[in-house]
Amino acid sequence: MLAGLFNGVLPIFAVSVIGYVCGRLKVFDFGSAMILNKFVMFIGMPVLGFKLLSDASLFDVPVKLLVGYLLSEICVYFITFIIARRVFAVGVREAFLLGLATALTNHVLFILPIAEILIGPSATLPIVALISMDGMLIFSGTIVAMDVMSSKEQGWRSAVTKIASNPPIVGMLAGLLYGLSGLEIAPNVQIFLSNISSTASPVLLFALGVILSVKRDDIIASLTGLIVSIKLIIHPVMVYFLLTFVFDVTLDFTYPAVMVAAAPCGVMSFMLAMNYGVKVDNIARVIFISSLLSLLTISYVANI
């Protein structure tokens, strides 16, 4: 377990720590983090989404894996939204993004590189399949909801225009269509895509660390604790139960999926909160706390 912690988990988590230290030292401030976040939103994520979906082999994974995992995501999304909205009375858009943070685990930016180190190449296919499904359904669906709520006073045409021109959605849709076309990506284009997409994870994790370095007084501690418990305990247990006992998925696909579920809250919710003008305090805190505690949950699952 300690080997997995030091060799796979800590090196990725350290990027946010560096951002936090730079924020505390005033080397970077909130404005700097916003610029970095915009780079990821408008360039890094669209290119990453295109690359992942154009390379994805979704037909090579069991449909039962995708269905079972999606069902677990819908459950934790709904549970988190209800708790945030009804129990703690947070705004609708913030409750949506807290639900996204719980359902959409930090697999692209955190768990995929860790799983490749700790489990090996066999973990890549099921995790990329889950990333592709999440990008097309959970992430895109939340963006649609945020665009609709943000444009409700401007009419449906404005909402449709914003959704159709949303950079991450455009990137993922283009990648899906290109992947289905069967066309090969030219080597020089592949190099470009790899270089740009590789920036999304460290840049966004660094920006998150900078944001967390800013002291805030309106954090709801009990909400943070509940959401982190849902993400790191309830979600992986639910995934294991559904895939093993309900859908009878083989262990080769089940364990990478459980590792994904045991990963931190999705940092994409933080990116969307900053870009849609939603309060980031609670979202940033649940991502940070779940990232810290997931050092243990991910290492545990990797050594089962």
pLDDT digits (tens, 9 = 90+) for 224-243: 999 999 999 999 999 999 99
Average pLDDT (118-124) is 71
Q: Looking at this protein, which amino acid is placed at residue 121?
A: P
Cα gap 267→270, rounded to integer Å: 5
The residue with greater pLDDT, 100 or 176, is 100
What is the predicted pLDDT for the residue at 247?
A: 95
Cα gap 20→6, rounded to integer Å: 20
Cβ atoms of residues 304 and 255 within 8 Å: yes
pLDDT digits (tens, 9 = 90+) for 145-203: 887 777 665 555 665 666 667 788 788 888 888 887 878 888 898 999 999 988 887 89
Residue 124 has pLDDT above 70, yes or no: yes
The tokens for 19 are 């951002």
| Placement of tokens 């090969």 in the chain | 184
Name the CA dihedral angle for 131, 135, 138, 142, rounded to a multiple of 10 degrees.
150
pLDDT digits (tens, 9 = 90+) for 211-224: 778 766 566 788 99
Query: First vs last Cα of the chain: how many Å apart?
Result: 9
What is the predicted pLDDT for the residue at 102?
A: 93
Going from N- to C-terminal start, the domains of the chain cover 2-302
Query: Mean pLDDT across the chain, nearest whole number?
Result: 83
pLDDT digits (tens, 9 = 90+) for 21-62: 999 999 998 889 889 988 988 899 889 888 877 876 666 788
Using alpha carbons only, give the angle 94, 49, 176 rounded to the nearest 5 degrees. 115
What SS3 class is residue 119?
coil
pLDDT digits (tens, 9 = 90+) for 260-288: 999 888 877 887 887 788 888 888 888 88
- Domain 2-302 falls under CATH 1.20.1530.20: yes
Cα gap 15→40, rounded to integer Å: 15
Largest pairwise CA distance in the chain? 54
Confidence category of residue 209, pLDDT binned at 50, 70, 90:
confident
Confidence category of residue 103, pLDDT binned at 50, 70, 90:
very high
Q: Looking at this protein, which amino acid is placed at residue 200?
A: A
